[in-house]
Amino acid sequence: MPATRQAVGLKGNERDRHTFRFAFSSAPAGGKVILGADTHRDAHGAAVLSLVGEVIGTEEFPATAAGYRDLLGWARASGTVRRAGVEGTGSFGAALPRHLPTQNVAVFDVNRFDRADRRRRGKSDPLDAENAARAVLSGRARAQAKAGDGPVEIARI
């Protein structure tokens, strides 16, 4: 039975825009879950999956520091988050994979999925976020996302 949970720490209209829906029965209390994210300039789509691949919930968050905190808080309301797959870590999504490791979440870089598959299944941000989580769950996504603090990043400054 789906339940509704309000975002913690948000006021007025912000809280109304961030109403989260997820099923409590999908993951046992305190169970582990996988986070997936599809990144864009203004907002990131997110999905949480149980370890058996069941979608617990999907949501969209602003691409801001506060949005990253809300995203992780929302995911943690469904269980323990230790791994996340992020699509687009080299562009608009560069800040999210830098934030998650500071919160003890291993981040895996997920490549954009096969175009033929995307045409067949459809293109949507929640579906892309779900696919990113599935890539981590299945082991397809193995590359750790760049930390952004290596010699190449230092040379760019």
Q: For residue 123, what are the domain limits?
A: 2-156
Average pLDDT over residues 105-128: 74
Average pLDDT over residues 102-123: 75
For residue 12, what pLDDT is reported? 47
Average pLDDT, the chain: 76
pLDDT band per the 50, 70, 90 thresholds, residue 53: very high
Pick the residue with more confidence: 124 or 59?
59
For residue 80, what pLDDT is reported? 95
**Residue range 120-154, pLDDT digits in tens:** 666 677 888 999 999 999 887 665 655 555 555 54
Q: What is the pTM of this model?
A: 0.70
Q: Which residue has the tokens 């033929």?
A: 116
Q: What is the CATH number of the domain that holds 49?
A: 3.30.420.140
The DSSP result for 8-62, as a single string, is TT--HHHHHHTEEEEEGGGS-TT-EEEEEEE--SSEEEEEEEETTS-EEEEEEEE
Q: Per the structure, how many domains does the chain have?
A: 1
Cα dihedral sign for 75, 44, 22, 139? negative
